[in-house]
Chains A and B, each alone.
Chain A
Amino acid sequence: MEALVFWILAIGLTSAALAVVFHRDPVAAAFCLLGVLLLMAGVFAMLQAFFMATVQILFYTSAVMALFWFALKQVNTRTEKKQSLPWVKLGLVGIVTVLLGGLYFRILGKLPHGDTMLNRGDESTTWTPGRLGELLFNTYLLPLQITVLLLLAAVVGVVQLGRHAVMGNLAKSDFNADKGLESEQKRS
């Protein structure tokens, strides 16, 4: 049963990830990314990390997908111009990827306890949110604070970037208005 669920999730994840890379339309790619994130939450739940699966769905999927959706609405989502596939580049990328992947799988083959079955044994070994929180607010308090500071910096940076984008637009339209005025004056 576990094997069946794993293979379904694995095949779904791989095909959705491939669709993210190879789909021409960014909106469709965003939907495939949504699928990847949700299936990944399923894999987390298979590994008894139920809290992480919940966080993945509640925060990661909702926040990131909302951001992506908003950004896709802001920029022009017309499909890229149809052009012939860059075969040389595709080949080079394929070679690099296969080499790196081969190296990775070789290392996996030499992993000492790689053949441990993860879901054998009693199920009481799940990490509860309470224990995670205890660890987070005692041992990992400093990294937590640094992350909070990073999030604050991100918020400030995004606000600043947004303001500049709007002001840049205004300056451009002012410039165009001035040019229009000048050409009108010339014409008169």
Chain B
Amino acid sequence: MSSVFTEITLNHYLALSGIIFMIGLAGVMLRRDLMVIYMCLELMLNAASLALISFSRFNVNRFGPDAAAEGQLMVLFIIAIAVAKAAVGLALIVALYRNRQTRNVNDLAEMRF
């Protein structure tokens, strides 16, 4: 088997992260349902977390245990902010739904210029 499949390198993890980010981006552009758009945003945040963690692993692997691996801390912050974002955003969606009875972004386009 060729070494691309048997040797997992930094590039593999970064490529996986990029693919998931692209899927999330396509979902945000494609879907019209607010809830699904929110889920796609979560996908993109997770892809960023994966890139950060793989870079931190790369740093430790390359420069030894005392190397800077703050990527993991950044992921901690990402998780905290993602939870805050989900709480506020979902509250907004629920409030919007109670007033307008719709989750479709095409029906919520009054502010479009």
Contact = CB atoms under 8 A, between A and B. Distances in A.
Contact of B8 (A36, A63, A86, A118): A118
B35 A3 contact: no
Main secondary structure of the interface of B (DSSP, over half): helix
A125 B60 contact: yes
A101 B57 contact: no
A154 to B, nearest CB: 4
B7 A117 contact: yes
A151 interface: yes
Given A59-B83, A104-B18, A2 B93 contact: no
Contact of A120 (B31, B50, B61): B61
A100 B22 contact: yes
Nearest to A136: B73
Nearest to B15: A108
A97 B26 CA distance: 6
B49 to A, nearest CB: 7
A76 B20 CA distance: 28
Contacts of A136: 73, 76
Interface residues of A, number: 84
A48 B33 CA distance: 36
B7 A3 contact: yes
A68 B87 contact: no
B108 interface: no
A94 interface: yes
A7 B81 contact: no
A177 to B, nearest CB: 17
B88 to A, nearest CB: 5
B30 A21 contact: yes
B42 A75 contact: no
Given A118-B9, A121-B61, A101 B22 contact: yes
B106 to A, nearest CB: 11
A125 B64 contact: yes
A113 interface: yes
